[in-house]
Amino acid sequence: MTKNTVVTRFPPSPTGYLHIGGARTALYNWLFARQQRGKFILRIEDTDKERSTSEATQAIVESLQWLGLDWDEGPYYQSERYSIYWEFIERLLSSGKAYYCHCTPEQLERRRKEAMAKGLKPKYDGRCRELELGPGPRAVVRLKSPQSGKTQFHDLIKGPISFNNEELDDLVLWRSDGSPTYHLAVVADDIAMGLTHIIRGDDHVNNTPRQILIYGALGEPLPLYAHVPMILGPDRTRLSKRHGATSVLAYRDLGYLPQALLNALARVGWSYGDQEKFTLSELIQKFSLENVGKSAGIFNRDKLLDLNAHYIRETGTEELVRNLLPFLETKGFKNIKDEKLRGAVETLKPRSKTLVEMAENARFYFVDQITYDPVAAKKFLNPDALDMLKDIRIRLQEIRDFTRETVEAVFLRFIEEKKVKLGKIAQPLRVALTGAGVSPGIFEVMEVLGRENVLERIGKAINYAAGSVGSANTKSSSS
């Protein structure tokens, strides 16, 4: 990698699942790194021992893997890098840019209250700044921040941002318990890992000047910052559980394809003309920080559902089968022959918005017993249909090479001879084979079910229609 190589990172705190907002941040960092032929780093910010869990880390890693956002380095764990952070503290201490502070939490609290009572800002009063104290059991290390002037940066999304240094405290960098603070760890890592671009949620804007001051104290060049506006629900309030699922894995489990979620996430707050649908390589090619909007983006689940239906139609059958298998297994359908599975998926592709829906719609292909929808059965499996069903069963029985085409030819001959409309026979047959009044095309269904199964199901339907079987259930052979 050359010196100018772009390096981005995704540094989640593992205190919960990966939510939509975090996933979008990860995606933008990933897209930018891939586009620039740079590096994308995964870093787990687990210094908060109380709130960090390995389950959350696992869920985050699994979410990124499912989305296909692969990383070039990591996962690094901040909890394992304290010695690196301490080296940065030593640098700052030895150059006089940081100092030990011995003020106790109780003293700080008292002074804070006093300041507030006087109507002053409750910031650290700099008492230990010039005392040149050494380490001590309750000592912390603070940054010697400039007390006047401004800290400014040019945000790649928001434009120029400026803070008065007076408002910024002498930040604690190292705690008395021997752990780094969040800001120190982030800056140390961003420097050590060679970050060139910090793309993160705009809830971090206020952290940026503090972090810039640490860079300055270390004499390190600044990365470029891009703060991405937050995500809202369609009602323009902050995206939350009220708007439906908010975790990436929940969307996986609801039967969404990663391509659909990635596409939807990319479009929350970023646009490329009017284009709505992007392949992953198009996203890599077309993404730019300049086209990320300055105002909050809206996450629209209806749009996501449409995108999902689109990607289900577009995805190759083999891949779809692989994606569908866990959903079928949940429903108890295992060891289904590949050919039948592929056939079923092909018929269901154009009519399923999620994989959950597809698995549900596939049920009739794989169950031993189909259940008749009572309304459809009453309407179509009645004595009127009997003769037709018997006749068509005999004709179907004669087909040796049982394909969509040969089946269709039999039907066309049948309706021509009988002078009936196709629907007249197709509907009773549909109920006989699928149990329902709506299904994929009946010829395709028959090809997927196969000759034996079709004949058996029609046989049961004939019995049912003749009134010889009282229940709505028929026994038919399994897959």
**Residue position matching structure tokens 């006087």:** 118
> Is the bond into 75 cis (omega within 30 degrees of 0)?
yes
Q: For the window 109-138, what string marks contact with ligand GLU as x by the rule CB under 6 A? A: ------------------------------
Least Å distance between CB 308 and ligand GLU? 27
Establish if 301 lies at the interface with ligand GLU (CB under 6 A): no
Q: For the window 167-186, what string marks contact with ligand GLU as x by the rule CB under 6 A? A: -------------------x
Least Å distance between CB 220 and ligand GLU? 16
Establish if 229 lies at the interface with ligand GLU (CB under 6 A): no
Least Å distance between CB 44 and ligand GLU? 9
Taking the least distance from each CB to ligand GLU, the nearer of 50 and 106 is 50
Taking the least distance from each CB to ligand GLU, the nearer of 10 and 333 is 10
Distance of CA 413 to the CA centre of its chain: 51
State the Cα–Cα distance between residues 380 and 375, nearest whole angstrom: 9
Q: Is 241 a catalytic residue?
A: yes
Of 185, 180, 187, 175, nearest to 214 (Cα)? 187
Least Å distance between CB 11 and ligand GLU? 5
Establish if 204 lies at the interface with ligand GLU (CB under 6 A): yes
Taking the least distance from each CB to ligand GLU, the nearer of 112 and 204 is 204
Q: What are phi and psi of 291, to 5 degrees?
A: -90, 10
State the Cα–Cα distance between residues 406 and 144, nearest whole angstrom: 84
User: What is the full DSSP assignment across 84-149?
Assistant: HHHHHHHHHHHTTSEEEE---HHHHHHHHHHHHHTT-------TTTTS-----TT-EEEE---SSS
Contact status, residue 184 vs residue 81, Cβ threshold 8 Å: no
Instruction: Please identify which of the residues 113, 121, 150, 241 carries the catalytic annotation.
Output: 241
* Candidate ranges 11-19, 411-419, 427-435, 465-473; the one touching ligand GLU (CB under 6 A): 11-19
β pairing state of 231-232 and 39-44: unpaired
Report the Cα–Cα distance between both ends of the chain, in Å, rounded: 54
Least Å distance between CB 146 and ligand GLU? 22
Beta carbons within 10 angstroms of residue 72's beta carbon: 15
Q: Which residues of 238-273 are buried (b: 16+ CB within 10 A; e: fewer)?
A: ebeeebebbbbbbbbebbbbbbbbbbbbbbbbbebe
* Candidate ranges 10-18, 242-250, 285-293, 413-421; the one touching ligand GLU (CB under 6 A): 10-18
Least Å distance between CB 57 and ligand GLU? 12
Establish if 11 lies at the interface with ligand GLU (CB under 6 A): yes
Name which position in 45, 46, 189, 444 contacts ligand GLU (CB under 6 A).
Answer: 45
Q: Which residues bind ligand GLU (CB under 6 A)?
A: 11-13, 45, 186, 200, 204
Catalytic annotation, residues: 241
